[in-house]
Amino acid sequence: MSQRIGYLDVAKFIGLALVCFCHIPMPTGNFHAWIYSFHMPLFFLLSGIFFNPDKFSLKKVSIQLLLPFVLFNFLAIVINICLNFIIDRTLEFPRFNLMNGLMGEYVIGPSWFLLSLFTIRIFCSYMYKYAKMFGLLIGIILLLLVFLYTRETNIWNVLNIGSTVLGLPFYLMGFISKDIMIGNINCGGWIVTILLTLISCLAMCNGLVGIHAHLYGDNLFAFFFFGWVGTIMLVRWSLYIPIPRRIVNVFMQGAMFYICMHTLMFEYMLLVWNKLTGDFSGNTLTEKIVVTLLTLVISYPIIRFMLRYTPILLGKQVKNECTI
């Protein structure tokens, strides 16, 4: 891959690590508020950079996003049944509740991102095809206005529509600013990086945000601005962070697995750790870093195995096809 694509992949890799870090066990404090201001906007925005409505295929996007969403949630149920039997010697089959699924309560919580990105790609592709950029922009603005005045209602929980609406502007930002993100991000130096970091840190003043929970802090415009600036900041950092290309490539091809399964992995990792050595909650900074690194280390061979034998789980029709 070229250097430009390379540093975008490093930014995504760091974003994956931050997602895991913030989920162990729960986000608290200003540091988490800062990370949350840009770590999920990063994925929507970088996905928008590669938005190409002329090459949109409903079949392809369904294989890339919808099929892994379904398969990984089903796989999590099977894993939970098996591990509960091994650890607790109990065989209990979970009850399937269609209503909970429709209201955004998935077996794998982080899998909401796949469903939201799937909906966003369909919405943007058809809106751009029939109404062009102006129509797409108007459609997003109208959705945001309706969301602002009705966000307390449960309608936004249905199939995670609320998260989709909050992710849409970042996706469009990526499409609009792709020349900046790809062609000009390497302009400037440390002064630009420090300035971007300082501006991004101001996001803490807007309060805790979370696209998954339909939270945008005190101000919606501040949420979008700081999410955009934080993404640019992280991409610029990626220019200076040396991560082996081979490792980054594997995680980019297996990003679906890591997004969906990291919480299940570290939950059982903590359970096993506590049974063997005692208390290890993951609450301290050191513990959170250790668990994040262990989750990455354990994921690496699993992803390589899946790329070789079960690429369909990673949203691929053929091996070594990058989907995110």
Q: Which residue has the higher pLDDT, 102 or 135?
A: 135
pTM: 0.90
* pLDDT exceeds 70 at position 103: yes
Q: Which residue has the higher pLDDT, 83 or 260?
A: 260
pLDDT for position 82: 82
String of DSSP letters for 247-297: HHHHHHHTHHHHHHHHHHHHHHHHHHHHHHHS---S-SHHHHHHHHHHHHH
Of the chain, the end-to-end C-alpha distance in Å amounts to: 14
pLDDT for position 61: 93
pLDDT for position 96: 61
User: CB–CB of 67/232 below 8 Å?
Assistant: no
**Tokens describing residue 324:** 């995110």
Backbone angles phi, psi at 177, to 5 degrees: -100, 20
Sign of CA dihedral 46, 202, 188, 221: positive
Q: Among 52-56, 140-144, 235-239, name the most confident range.
A: 140-144
- pLDDT, tens only, 57-72: 999 999 999 999 999 9
CA–CA dist 16, 14 (Å, integer): 5
* pLDDT exceeds 70 at position 317: no
Instruction: With cut-offs at 50, 70 and 90, classify the pLDDT of residue 93.
Output: low
String of DSSP letters for 38-85: THHHHHHHHHHHT--GGG--HHHHIIIIIHHHHHHHHHHHHHHHHHHH
CA–CA dist 162, 212 (Å, integer): 8
- pLDDT, tens only, 189-235: 788 889 999 999 999 999 889 999 999 999 999 999 999 999 999 99
